Amino acid sequence: MKCVLLGAGGHGRVLLEARLPQTFDAILDTRPGLQEVAGVPVLGGDDLLPDLAARGFTHFVVGLGSTADTTARAHLFQAAVDAGLTPLAVLHPTAWVSPSARLGEGCQILARAVVNTGAVLGANVLVNTAAVVEHDSEIGDHVHLASGALLCGGVRVGAGAHIGAGAVVRQGLQIGAGALIGAGAVVVRDVPAGARVAGVPARPL
């Protein structure tokens, strides 16, 4: 296995520590003049991605986070797959993932996060620091649960949604694809696809 980290900003550095730097053989990062991070060499920018398989790379980890829009993470993930690389999961040693949970390719479960009984996560889902996915919830591809977010039991989240830091989603609700839940929101009713809500209780922005 030869693995590349795609991006070494704030989120990328968290992943370096979560998996330990020796897991990664190289980094792609667009910042000019950056030569190494935590002892891992930076090869150059994302334009090198199509050539990595020919250079012996087999796996990748998306090192890009998101603050409201998950499309950049999704595009980077797909570009790496199209380049012939396989997504590698990141599971922090302090995270809890139920044995009955199912994780898609390239999921990232960070420090003190919980993925509970019967939960199903799609590809490239980011469950950030201390976020919780409760029992029987289903999370679509490329969703980002920001730090401290809480999904109660049986919540359904559509692909590409962003659940802000500290937000709470009541049990059994549906969050549509591409929706944005603002930081600290308390969601007590379904949220349509593409909607942006915030507040307590959450209302459309």
Of the listed 92, 135, 142, 144, which one is catalytic?
A: 135
With H, G, I as helix, E, B as strand and everything else as coil, classify residue 109: strand
With H, G, I as helix, E, B as strand and everything else as coil, classify residue 108: strand
**Dihedral through CA 90, CA 96, CA 102, CA 108, nearest 10?**
-20
Structure token digits, residue 160: 């590409």
Determine the pLDDT at residue 19. Answer: 80
Cβ atoms of 154 and 137 within 8 Å: the answer is yes
Determine the pLDDT at residue 109. Answer: 97
Q: Which residue, among 80, 53, 78, 76, has the nearest Cα to 64 in the 3D structure?
A: 76
Determine the pLDDT at residue 112. Answer: 98
What number is the average pLDDT over the span 49-59? 96
What number is the average pLDDT over the span 96-121? 98
Determine the pLDDT at residue 164. Answer: 97
Determine the pLDDT at residue 201. Answer: 97
Is residue 67 very low, low, confident or very high in pLDDT (cuts 50, 70, 90)? confident
What is the rounded CA–CA span in Å between residue 148 and residue 60? 26
Q: For the chain, what is the mean pLDDT?
A: 96
- How many residues in the chain? 205
The DSSP secondary-structure symbol of 182 reads -
Q: Is 135 considered catalytic here?
A: yes
Determine the pLDDT at residue 20. Answer: 73
Q: 23 pLDDT exceeds 90?
A: no
The DSSP secondary-structure symbol of 61 reads E
Q: 21 pLDDT exceeds 90?
A: no
What number is the average pLDDT over the span 90-119? 97
Top pLDDT among 99 and 66 is at 99
Digit-coded pLDDT (tens) for 114-160: 999 999 999 999 999 999 999 999 999 999 999 999 999 999 999 99
Is residue 167 very low, low, confident or very high in pLDDT (cuts 50, 70, 90)? very high
What number is the average pLDDT over the span 101-116? 98
